């Protein structure tokens, strides 16, 4: 049910949330417990980049529902294992019942796994590299309303990260995809003002020790 504040909805459990979470129980769970929570684990960061690549042109809900099966198909997104995969593995992955059958996207996961190992050799960890592109507080909207969020399809930091990853040979890492990645893993907190998750994440962010 809509509230008086644009972009916020009241769930049947009596909790106010960002409007996009009202579409399904999966969205609600993802919104409340995962979206925007800071992530420093390299495997989880690689998984999120991979899933955002699959999401391009699709609904995130499709990817979210397929995520358990995709995790199984891609060895839990263990990029060290995936990097050792022969090119022929793309064919077997495309035959997996749960797979989003886009050859380029499947091949991208294996390619990016190899690129991830190269990056870690240079930078020490994915987290250390990726969190370097966290937007400064001054670059963020002073008040995050629905109108402001709808305009945030990307940002200069996501554009810079996209350029750097592409230079390193990564694929399916456009600036819009990477901004969605930033939203998901907490490089930005895009819960709307008035959403109860927003202050909880802000408290977490204030206590963070960046990698």
27 catalytic residue (yes or no) = no
Site of tokens 């049947």? 12
Half-sphere exposure of 93 (CA within 13 A, CB side): 25
30 catalytic residue (yes or no) = yes
52 catalytic residue (yes or no) = yes
- The answer to whether 38 and 76 have CB atoms below 8 angstroms apart is no
Residues 18-22: contacts with CB within 8 Å, 24+ apart?
18/191, 18/192, 18/195, 18/197, 19/146
Given 35, 47, 52, 157, the catalytic residue: 52
- The answer to whether 82 and 48 have CB atoms below 8 angstroms apart is no
Alpha carbon distance 198, 151 (integer Å) = 19
Alpha carbon distance 132, 174 (integer Å) = 17
Given 27, 35, 47, 60, the catalytic residue: 60
Give the residue numbers marked as catalytic.
30, 52, 60
């Amino acid at each position: 049910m809509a509230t008086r504040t644009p972009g916020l909805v009241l769930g049947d459990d009596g909790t106010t949330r960002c409007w996009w979470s009202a579409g399904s129980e999966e969205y609600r769970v993802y919104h409340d417990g995962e979206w925007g929570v800071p992530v420093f684990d390299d495997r989880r960061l690689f998984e999120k980049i991979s899933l955002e690549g699959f999401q391009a042109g699709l609904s995130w809900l499709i990817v979210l529902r397929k995520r358990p099966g995709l995790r199984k198909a891609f060895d839990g997104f263990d990029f060290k294992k995936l990097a050792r995969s022969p090119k022929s593995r793309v064919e077997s992955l495309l035959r997996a019942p749960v797979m989003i059958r886009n050859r380029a996207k499947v091949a991208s996961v294996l390619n990016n796994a190899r690129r991830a190992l190269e990056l870690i050799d240079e930078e020490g960890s994915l987290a250390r590299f990726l969190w370097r592109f966290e937007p400064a507080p001054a670059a963020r909207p002073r008040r995050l309303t629905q109108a402001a969020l709808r305009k945030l399809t990307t940002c200069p930091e996501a554009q810079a990260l996209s350029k750097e990853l592409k230079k390193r040979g990564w694929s399916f890492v456009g600036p819009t995809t990477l901004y969605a990645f930033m939203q998901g893993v907490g490089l930005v907190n895009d819960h709307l003002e008035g959403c109860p998750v927003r202050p909880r994440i802000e408290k977490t962010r204030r206590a963070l020790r960046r990698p």
